[in-house]
Amino acid sequence: MRNIILNLAITLDGFIEGPNGEIDWLVRDDEFDFGDILTDILSDKDIIFYGRISYDKWGNSQPDENASQKIKDAYKLLHNKQKYVFSKTKKGDNTNAIFINSNIKESVLGIKEQPGKNIWLYGGAKLITTFLNLDLIDEYRLAVHPVILGEGKPLFQNIEDRHKLRLTDAKGYKSGVTLLSYKTDRTTNS
Amino acid sequence: MRNIILNLAITLDGFIEGPNGEIDWLVRDDEFDFGDILTDILSDKDIIFYGRISYDKWGNSQPDENASQKIKDAYKLLHNKQKYVFSKTKKGDNTNAIFINSNIKESVLGIKEQPGKNIWLYGGAKLITTFLNLDLIDEYRLAVHPVILGEGKPLFQNIEDRHKLRLTDAKGYKSGVTLLSYKTDRTTNS
C-alpha cells in the first residue's frame, strides 16, 4: 500500500512559514542544493497532495529562468506527478490535477490502495491538520532548520489526539539542518 | 564565562508538558535511565535557574523511596547545586536558594561572570521566554521525544525576535528520542 509522507522544512519552534509567508529562514546547505532536495523528495513518490491555498501558490510554480539545470529538471519531475487538490468548493482547473471536495478519508484510502509509489503530503498546515486528525499520515520527514522564528504558521495545530511515532532516522548536517524521519506507530497509540 | 544551557525534553510538536502537567509521554530509554540523564545534565553545571512555579513544584523534590541508588545519588547532586529562583514577589524560603525579584538581565550577567561551571536553565516556559527575549540563553540541549501531543505547554511562546542557532550535535537513540544540541549564533543574528 502507498504511504502518505509529510516532507517539510520547519524551524526549531515548529513553524513552516513566517507570519507573512516568509521562508527566508531556510538555511542554505552546501552539501545539497534545492534541486537535489526536491529530486530526492520526489524519488519515491508519484502523487502529490495539496491544500487549495498551497496549490494556488505553489502547485504550478516554475523555476526562475536563471535557475540551474538541476532545479529545472526537478521542477519537470514535480509537474509530471499526479496532483490532487483538497478544496471544499473548487472542482478543477485547466490542468490534470484532480480536485477532491468531500469524503476525504474514503477518497484518500482509495488512492492509497491503488498500486504505485508513495504520496507526498505537500501541505499547507490546514490540510496537514485534517490528515493528522484522520490518522492518514504514515511517515514524517522533517528538515529542522536551526532557527527560533518566534511567530508564523505552526506545522502542528488543532491536533485532536496524541500520535506516537517511531524514529527511523536522525541526521545532522553541516548547514545546521537536522533530518528527522518517523513512522506513525499505530501499534501503541493510546 | 559560564554558559546558560537549556536542557529539556520536548515533544515533536514542541510541548514540555501536557495541558495538565502530564509528562507521561516521556519514552523510556533502555540505554539510559533517569539517574544517568540527570547526572549527565548536572555534570557541567553548578547553578540551576528556576522560575517560581517550577521551583515550588520541582525545586526541592525528592526521589521515591524505592528509587534506585543511581537516582538517589543524582538527586543529591541536584540539591547540592546553587539554586536561583526568579520571582516577582517571593524573597526567600528556608533553603540556600537565592531569589531574584528584579533586574533579571543585570543579575544574570553578573552571575555569568563569576568563575564556575555552566548554568542549567531548568524552566518553566515563562522563565524560558523571558531569558530568550533577553538573549540570555547560550545553548540548547533538547531531547525530542517521538510523539505529537496535540496540546499542552509549548516550550517556545511569545518570542519577540528571531534567534539563529548553530547545530553542534544531533543524535538519535533506539528509544526514538533525538538529542539536538545548538549554540546561539550571535554572529549572524538578523
CB-based contact (8 Å) between A19 and chain B? no
B188 pLDDT band, cuts 50/70/90, is low
Residue with cell 506516537: A164
d(CA B49, CA B55): 9
Going by pLDDT thresholds of 50, 70 and 90, the confidence category of residue B5 is very high
> Which residues from A are below 8 Å from B176, CB to CB?
165-167, 182
Q: A6-44, pLDDT tens digit by residue?
A: 999 999 999 999 999 899 999 987 777 889 999 999 999
pLDDT confidence of residue A29? 77
**Cell 548536572 belongs to which residue?**
B42
CB spacing of B165 vs A25 below 8 angstroms: no
Between β-strands A139-145 and A147-148, what pairing exists: parallel, antiparallel or unpaired? unpaired
How confident is residue B34, by pLDDT bands cut at 50, 70 and 90?
confident
Contact between B175 and B30 (Cβ < 8 Å): yes
Residue-level pLDDT at B165: 98
Chain A partners within 8 Å of B173 (Cβ)? 167
Look at A159 and B146 and tell me if their CB atoms are within 8 Å: no
The residues with which B5 forms a beta bridge, in sequence order, are B120, B139
pTM exceeds cut of 0.80: yes
Residue B189 is predicted with a pLDDT of 45
| CB atoms A155 and B185 under 8 Å | no
Per-residue pLDDT at B73? 96
Nearest chain A residue (CA) to B26:
A164
Q: Name which of A149, A155, A164 is nearest B162 (Cβ-Cβ).
A: A149
pLDDT, tens digit (0-9, with 9 covering 90-100), for A70-80: 999 999 999 99
* pLDDT higher than 70, residue A189: no
ipTM of the complex: 0.93
Q: Which region holds residue A181: left if phi is over 0, alpha if psi is between -120 and 50, else beta?
A: beta
Average pLDDT, chain A: 94
Of A133, A152, A118, give the one whose Cα is nearest residue A25. A152
Given a contact cutoff of 8 angstroms between Cβ atoms, the answer to whether B83 and B48 are in contact is yes
Mean pLDDT of the region A55-80: 94
Q: Which of A14, A147, A167 sits opposite B164 (nearest CB)?
A: A147
Residue B33 CB contacts under 8 Å (≥ 6 apart), including other chains: B68, B70, B71
Q: What would the pLDDT profile of B80-134 be if each residue is shown by its tens digit?
A: 999 999 999 999 999 999 999 999 999 999 999 999 999 999 988 999 999 999 9
Q: Is the confidence at residue B33, as pLDDT, over 90?
A: no
Q: What is the mean pLDDT of residues B42-46?
A: 97
Query: CA of B32: how far to CAs of A134, A159, B35, B173, B177, in Å?
Result: 34, 30, 8, 10, 11
Chain A positions touching B169 (Cβ under 8 A) are: 172
Q: What is the mean pLDDT of residues B5-27?
A: 95
